[in-house]
A and B are shown apart, each in its own frame.
Chain A
């Protein structure tokens, strides 16, 4: 049955990236990495030398671009792991090999490490970050979330290790636990905002579901992108070296991203439509999203580049277009995070507070600064490096195990 759906998706199996794609992409990826690292190093210097002073966030908008990156990163990690692990457990073509699973685990780490770095750099006291694990208050969704990520990383790491063993009697059970965690922490990311009654725009029970939908969408899109341009490595010619398996995996991921896009935008429409027809407390924040100075983030980046364009590309029968769609979704879906994060903070409950004591950090507007963007590039470079190193280790261990 799975074979049927695969052959329906494309007329002919797609050439695997292992055959020729790597040669095209490798120099480009190195160039992107070098640029991100070089520019990002400037941002990191500014962050370390001058603390938070060059940042654009303040006390009335206390969270900015880095927090959006954080939630986007952990969403990708959870989504990618959940999709790949479910595929492995269900023995779907293109997912049933441990190499495919390992690629997703490495991707999850590559997404989580820069995400953690983003939130770490955002802390006022970075040296005290470990307190969230050593002295947590579980009444806080932040502490709950932090423990959940770490539990997930531990489970994912164990899965990665035992995936090399012949006796895999614990792999699938652990993957089930990993899937549970991978579904819980993106939902909790939504709850992280949803529990804040002070921000009417955040205080919605739909938010955890939207965050989960966006995590699975972005995670599957990232897998689509990774498999499309790099593939998964394995000995004995398995997997993405085989065009049939490669196409099956791509078709499955394409379906998940399509379904995820539909689900996310439906949920978003449900949320927005209630506000548009009941212009009460949420309305100013939604006005900001749709018609504020950053209207283009919603209409162009989020809806156009992150929604409609990839949707159209995914509807084609060209796997090359799916890869582009995966890239667009994986990157542009950060706008979904920003569109929740910033407008929610940009509307104060006490009218006139901003004018009561004036200072650039006591302002309900937020513009990310050059330092924040440069650090974001550095985080991209870190993610790429983690993926590269993880993939090399995976490959070496797989060769040894074979």
Chain B
């Protein structure tokens, strides 16, 4: 008896290659497996309608600025606000929100960053609109350039297809939204964004480690660790989100959404409103008379990382 036969001594095992019947079964199973996998991959690539409502039901008749007559020399904020109201009077699928940032006007004050943090109640480590500072030249001939970086609301968003649970999608008006109640917090979208525009809410609080003060409260005018403002809900996506008890958006990926909740109320994104240099413009690119359309068509605009093919909706005047 050779060594190979020893292997089977006294026990049932595998003898030789497969029988014809086994080979047919194996071929069928492997073929079916490949067909299912391939079919699933192909079907998944079909375009899906966004889960948001669309059509006439999304038209908003907003009374904002009704009593303020337009003037030729009015602030651009007022003009953009009127244009926003006009855009909201259209169904959502007819709006194309874009942002234009004039880097020549940006002074790097970071007011937009902080306003965004305040508006969206962002915890430590979560930021939607940092302002990147670049330095050119050597001292004393130094020049600075400031580049605010909101979410680019890409037309080909790399963050969307990688989400394993359909928790993020491109809305009809172009905003890339997140459903905090669906997000599992895997952070794949964060890795997929070349702009670093998504950050994860790890559950930190600005009040972590703060003193609580005496029980009678006399020496804790700011409430220390129990500051009530820390638990105030944010209003992103038109819903009140409370972070206490590890509720969403704690544990989720978060990002700029052009202050969607403000748009629905006829208000400009907080960053545009707060910009002291009037360097941030927001509006509907589908409105040929809008300020943003005018700026994009008349100036030399660029997008960030155009070679990535993401087709951003944030344009920079340089």
Residues of A in contact with B (beta carbons under 8 Å apart): 2-3, 6-7, 51-53, 55, 58-60, 62-63, 88-91, 93-94, 96-98, 119, 122-125, 128-129, 131-132, 135-144, 146-148, 151, 166, 168-170, 172-174, 176-177, 180-181, 184, 195-199, 234-239, 242, 244-245, 248, 345, 348-353, 355-357, 359-362
- How many Å from the CB of B159 to the closest CB on chain A? 9
- Tell me what chain B mostly uses at the interface: helix, strand, loop, or mixed: loop
A258 to chain B minimum Cβ distance, whole angstroms, is 22
Give the 3 A-B residue pairs with the shortest CB-CB distance, closest first. Answer: A124-B185, A124-B251, A138-B44
Whether the Cβ atoms of A245 and B191 lie closer than 8 Å is no
A52 to B187, CA, bound (A): 13
**Residue numbers in A under 8 Å from B248 (CB-CB):** 125
Chain A residues lying within 8 Å of B44, measured Cβ to Cβ, are 137-139
CB-based contact B29/A245 at 8 Å: no
Partner of B246, one of A51, A177, A235, A244: A51
A136 touches B164 (CB 8 A): yes
A-B contact pairs, 9 of them (CB 8 A): A94-B7, A97-B13, A137-B164, A138-B44, A197-B192, A350-B149, A356-B130, A356-B149, A357-B130
- Report how far A89 CA is from B246 CA in the complex, Å: 50
Chain B residues in 8 Å Cβ range of A235: 11
Chain B residues within 8 Å of A, Cβ to Cβ: 2-4, 6-19, 21-23, 25-26, 28-30, 33-34, 37, 40-41, 43-45, 113, 124-127, 130-134, 149, 158, 160-166, 182-188, 190-196, 198-204, 246, 248, 250-253, 304-305, 308-309
Q: How far is the CB of A125 from chain B (nearest CB, A)?
A: 5
CB nearest neighbor in B for A344: B191
Which B residues are in CB contact (< 8 Å) with A3? 2-4
Determine the chain A residues whose CB is within 8 A of the CB of B19 once the complex forms: 169
Most chain A CB inside 10 Å of its own CB: which residue of B8, B158, B164, B200: B164
Chain A nearest Cβ from B165, distance in angstroms: 5
* Residues of A with C-beta under 8 A to B186: 119, 122-124, 142
Q: B3 contacts which chain A residues (CB < 8 A)?
A: 2-3, 6-7, 93, 244-245, 248
Quick one: given A3-B3, A59-B198, A94-B7, are A176 and B26 in contact (CB under 8 Å)?
yes
Contact A91 B133 (CB under 8 A): no
Q: Nearest Cβ in chain B — how far from A96, in angstroms? A: 4
Question: In whole angstroms, what is the CA distance A199 to B196 when docked?
Answer: 11
Residues of A within 8 A of B4 (CB): 2-3, 93
Across-interface contacts of A196 in B (CB, < 8 A): 158, 162, 191-192
A351 CA to B165 CA, complexed, in Å: 31
Q: Is the Cβ of A96 less than 8 Å from the Cβ of B7?
A: yes
A402: nearest residue on chain B (CB-CB)?
A: B11
